[in-house]
Amino acid sequence: MHEVRENVDAIDRALVDLLVQRFAMMDAAARIKSDRGAVRDEARKAEVIENAASYAAGLGLPSNIIAALWDQLVESSIAYEFDRFDER
């Protein structure tokens, strides 16, 4: 079990490293968008969640769980982007 936990911890660190890159894209989006109203794009949100869920399903993961995780991720990313936009 110790080895499993160490591997989970390593995977979590790798996921955080990827989130750093994803949130850097939110920084870029906040700089590029000229209108605060453009930060929340429900059509794009749905597309991102569907893309992740479909990809996960193709890999044998439960798409409903991935969709729920991505909904949280996208909402957190939108909140972060609003903060960055407001700091401009």
Q: Which residues of the chain have pLDDT under 70?
A: none
Residues 6 or more apart whose CB falls under 8 angstroms from that of 30 comprise 39, 81, 82, 84, 85, 88
Residue ranges and CATH numbers for the domains of the chain are 2-86 (1.20.59.10)
pLDDT of residue 39: 98
Neighbours of 48 (CB within 10 A): 16
pLDDT at 73: 98
Read off the pTM: 0.93
8 Å CB contact between 63 and 54: yes
Contact 48, 74 (CB under 8 A): yes
